[in-house]
Homo-oligomer: A and B are copies of this chain.
Amino acid sequence: MQQIPMPYLLFLGDVMDPLAAKTARGIHVWRPESCVGQIRLATDSVSLGLPEMDIATAKAQGAKTMVLGTANSGGKLPKHWIDSIKTAIRAGMNVANGLHQGLNDIPELVELAAEHHVELFDVRHMRPELDTGTGIPRSGKRILTVGTDCSVGKMYTSLALESAMRELDLNADFRATGQTGILVAGAGIAIDAVIADFISGAVELLAPANDDNHWDIIEGQGSLYHPSFAGVSMGLIHGAQAHLLVMCHELG
């Protein structure tokens, strides 16, 4: 599976809405050691409180990938962000992107990246060749987070479990199935973007056979109750072959 090189420089653009920075915030909360600094296009943009730095400085401090960590409505890439992306590429940094619009769909960026030997990661489309699920039993232990709705904390719960289990010296790995999760982990499969036939097969690939004492903690998506996304949740349940399901529910 493709791996996004860390550490990151978090690009926050000129977004004012704190909710729009949830990807950058997720990375910062769960992988602070992988965040060299932040870069903003306006002094009143949202901030994570990370060291403010330009691309050259971040590169000098070891940043390997600039991550577009904010979402604007519509998931499109604002034209004036392109200049920053080009500067990062020219500085020899990879660029990772969770927006719907792909960096790899912009020919001038693809050319520039090839010229500078760096990679463009569109996490919604970052996946190996997929196949249908087999349902064949496999070794290793797996936890899947499920929920009574979308956006009830399945990613945070999964990452909190990983963190707590590692503190107990358990051999545990978070397996990402959504954009933010993939940027946190540096790898994964955006499960809602795969072809319907391959949902469970993608999960089998994401959390393959492992040592008997190894735990994969698989990030759930959607909910069996959700009119849009129940199919994705169902495919996750089959593909995960989980030993434990952790149910997430919004309090109140």
Contacts and interface: CB of A to CB of B under 8 A. Distances in A.
Interface of A: 132-135, 191-197, 199-201, 224, 226-239
B227 A134 contact: yes
Residue with the highest number of chain B CB atoms closer than 10 Å, among A194, A195, A229, A236: A229
A233 B195 CA distance: 14
A181 to B, nearest CB: 16
Contacts of A235: 196, 230-232, 234
7 A-B pairs closest in CB distance = A135-B227, A231-B235, A234-B234, A132-B228, A199-B231, A192-B197, A231-B231
Residue with the highest number of chain B CB atoms closer than 10 Å, among A132, A191, A199, A236: A199
Contacts of A195: 192-196
Contacts of A133: 227-228
A232 B232 CA distance: 8
A189 to B, nearest CB: 11
Given A231-B238, A232-B235, 15 more contacts: A132-B229, A133-B227, A135-B228, A194-B195, A194-B196, A196-B232, A196-B235, A197-B228, A199-B231, A201-B228, A227-B239, A230-B237, A231-B235, A234-B234, A234-B235
